[in-house]
Structures are given as C-alpha cells and as structure tokens.
Amino acid sequence: MNTTKVKQNRTKTWTQHVSIKTVVICSLHVLFLIAVLLIDALDYRAKVSLFAFLSAMTLWITTKIPAGFVAIALIAFIIVMKAGKPDLLYHSLSEEVVWLMIGSFIIGEAVKVSGLAERLTHSILSQSNRKGDMLYGLSSILFASAFFIPSTSGRAALSMPIIQQMSQKFSNKEQSVLAILAPVVILMSTSATLIGAGSHLIGIGLMESTVDQSISYFQWFVWGVPFAIVITFLSVFIIKWMLWPKDGVQEIEADQTEDNIIGKKQMNGKEKKTVVLVLFLIVGWMTESIHGYDIAFITMIGAILLMMPRYGIISWKQGMNAVSWNLILFVAAATALGKVLVDTGIVEWIEQEMLHVLHLFIDAPEWLIVLIILLVTVTSHLYITSHTTRAIVFIPGLLLFSKTIGVDPTTVVFLSLIGMNYCVTVPVSSKALLLFYEEGKISYNAGNLLKISAILMPLYILVMMLFYFSYWQWAGLHL
C-alpha cells in the first residue's frame, strides 16, 4: 500500500514539473522532425542540420536555457549524428564575427575607462529632463552614426559603454528596453546610407557585373534617408509603447553640478588617445575597399593598440575581462549553425523554391510584385542569419527574376537590400543584436524581441509599400 502511494506521489511530482510549455516545445520538435523527414529534396546531412537549426530557434525564444549551451549542444548533435565533422565546432571560433566582437568589447571597455562614455552620457542627460526624451536623444545619436561608421557591429560596440553609463539612471526593466532600443535603432538606420552595411555594396557590385547598372551614394542618400528616419522613429515609438514600464519614474534624477563639471572639464590624455584611435578605426572601416583588410581585423588592430603596455588605455587583463566569453562562444556556435545551412544546400533549396513561386507572378500587377519581393527579403533573416550571405544568395536570383518579368533591376535590388536590412526577430540574425544579448546587466530577453518583431515586421513591409507608391516613385524609383 505504501509502495503504491510512493509511486503515485512520484508520478504527481513528475507531472507537476512537466508544464504545458514543455509539452508544446516537445510537440514542436516532433512536428519539425516529421516535416524535415518529408522533404525529399534534402539529403541526410541537410535534414539533420535543418532540424537542429529549427530546434535552436525554438529553444532560444521559448526557454531560459543559456543560448550558448543550446548552440554548442546542437552543433555537437549534428556531429554525433554524422551530419558534420568535428571541425564544424573547432572552426567556428575562427569566424570573422567572433574576432570582431572580441575587439568590440575591448574597444568599448577602453571608451568607458577613458571617461569618453561618461562625458557623452552627461552631454545627452544635460539636454533631457525626462527619460522618454532621453530615448529619442540617444536614438538620434545612433542614427547619425550610420553616416560615419559603416558597420552595424562597430556602431553597437561604440554605443555599448554609453548605454552602460546611462543605465545608472534607469531601473532594471528600463535597462532591458535600452538593450533592445540601441541595436534596433542601429539596424533601422542602416538603410540611410550606401555604406551602412556591407550587403549594400555586395548587392550593387553584383548588379554592376550582371546588368551593368549601379546606384550612386547620392541616389541612395535621396531614397534611403527619409525611409530610415520614418522607420527608426516608428521603431522607437513601438519599443517605448510595448516595453517601457508605465509605472516607473519618468523624471531623470540628474546631478546638474556634476553634469556641468564633466561638460566643462577639458579632455584628459586618455580621452584624447581614445578619440584618436576611434577616429583611426572609423577611417579604417570606411576605407576597407582601399586597403583590403576586413572590418574584424581593423577592429582587432584598434584593440591591440588600446591595450599596449605603457602607451595604451587599458591593460591586457582589463581587456580580457571586458570580453563576454559566454557570448563569444554562443556567437561562434550560432554562426556555425547558420553556416551549415549554406554548406548542406538548405539555403539553395529554399532559394529555388522561392524563385519557382516568384516566376508565377510574371503577369502580376505592380503592387503584388513589390509585395512578393518584400515578403521574400524581409523574412530572409529567419533562415539566413548572415546579412552578407543574404545578399550573396538572393540578389543574383532576384536580378534573374527582374530580367524574366521585364522590370527595372535597380529598383528590384534597392527594394531587396532595404528589405534584407530588417533582421529584428531573433538575436542571431544580427551582430548588433548579439552584442547586447545576454551581456551582463544590460541585456534583453529574446521573447521581447520576438514580440517587437511581430508588430514591426508587418509595419516595415507596409511602410516600404507606402514609400514605393509615393515618395520613391516621385524620386524616380520605378519597376
């Protein structure tokens, strides 16, 4: 009798631990497995990799399991299932984004230690009496940086110490909103300028070599800036409306005496050194096509100079302690998960399936063609995590599509590149989002990002449609 009672208690305890959420997650995995097995066009390696990627996306969004653990575990799963070699895990640490982020953390720490972050923070705070006003002030600075720093990662890295400094005036809930606001504004402002993302240059380069047409810096400026301003403002408004605590203190408790002292105080030696090195970085990032060194290498050179014994801003130990190694391992493994989609042919299969659909719209009305292009490109970040890879994969196919249905390739490429700039759904879709994800005290929840995207993604498409049939057509953009 006692044995039966003990078993019943154990069963009851187990069922209490198994929540509805767990059942839903397990059910989703079963559905993923069935769906993947039914895709005849994919081989064994591709099916295992696609299942692993879908599993990772689900676990990142729906659970509190450390994102790095999920990514590394699923890479190990792919290797154990003989769908990949152990090199997949080892080589993930050699990815460009990994070294870019290591350098970015070090640079951010130097900006903070030198006092520059505090100076800029007090400059923003001195102009704002309310927290809401300060959000728009911060967004304006981040927007303007798109014209000078041609790397979303670089902009995110330089903004991190400023956000950390500002966070002292905010509650924990408000800090998590700042952690989402900063990368989202950085990403939305990317469309303002031709140098805002490497994918812009890649897409235009592919267009020049394929159809001998191009988009100048000035043309992009005329088309891109108004759209970037509108979508950035709407993004800030939505984030504030959805996530900003309604019951918090809205006034900023600022020490005006301290603000005045910091604002009037002359730059010290460390601040001047840091400014010079940051300017060196910006010039290096902007002239990548001239000197041939990629953004990650330039960033690491800047980090090395900032840690030089006697002449640097911070010590080697300070620099290493500033790096979030937990996040670095997550990024390495997550990037490998995205890369395996390309290597196993999953992305090529998705592209072919989409192009088959696109060819059905040869005689379709203009609004439907634009809508289809936007649906394909705006959602592409969900299965191709690299911004650059999205341009390489889709632009050739979309150029072929434009030739097939007889529309202007310049318009198709511009709309496609602006559409691909949207990547605000999961952290792994953007380096800027990754930099703020699970990073110490100032971080955000992936679930909140998904909530924002549920409204922002359809709004992004709608605003693009409205711009195309109004301002962009007036400015000379026609299919």
Helix, coil or strand: residue 131: helix
Query: What confidence score (pLDDT) does residue 229 get?
Result: 92
Helix, coil or strand: residue 266: coil
* Cβ-Cβ contacts under 8 Å for 296 (sequence gap 6 or more): 96, 97, 99, 100, 103
Residue 368 to residue 351: CA distance in whole angstroms: 19
Contact between 72 and 267 under an 8 Å Cβ cutoff? The reply is no
Query: What confidence score (pLDDT) does residue 195 get?
Result: 66
> What's at 438, amino acid-wise?
E
Structure-token match 């005036």, residue found = 169
**pLDDT tens-place string over residues 282-308:** 778 767 668 878 777 888 888 898 888
Return phi, psi of residue 254, to 5°: -105, 140
Residue 420 to residue 417: CA distance in whole angstroms: 5
Q: Please report which helix (H) or strand (E) contains residue 317, including its range.
A: helix 316-322
The number of helix segments (H) and strand segments (E) in the chain equals: 25, 0
Query: What confidence score (pLDDT) does residue 376 get?
Result: 85
Neighbouring CB atoms inside 10 A of 262's CB total: 18
Return phi, psi of residue 316, to 5°: -60, -45
- Estimate the share of the chain in helix, then strand, then coil, as percent rounded to the nearest 5: 80, 0, 20
Query: What confidence score (pLDDT) does residue 459 get?
Result: 94
Contact between 240 and 272 under an 8 Å Cβ cutoff? The reply is no
- Give percent above pLDDT 90 in the chain: 6
> What's at 133, amino acid-wise?
D
Helix, coil or strand: residue 251: strand
The tokens describing 440, both together, are: 């110490």
Query: What confidence score (pLDDT) does residue 257 get?
Result: 47
**pLDDT tens-place string over residues 370-419:** 888 888 889 888 877 667 667 766 777 777 777 777 778 888 888 989 99
Which positions of the chain have pLDDT values less than 50?
1, 14, 249, 257-259, 261, 263
Selection from 389, 383, 426 nearest residue 49 by Cα:
383
Query: What confidence score (pLDDT) does residue 461 get?
Result: 93
DSSP secondary structure letters along 409-470: HHHHHHHHHHHHT---SSGGG-HHHHHHTT-TTS---HHHHHHHHHHHHHHHHHHHHHHIII
Query: What confidence score (pLDDT) does residue 458 get?
Result: 92
Output the CA–CA distances (angstroms, integers) from residue 474 to 177, 222, 223, 393, in the order listed. 37, 11, 10, 30
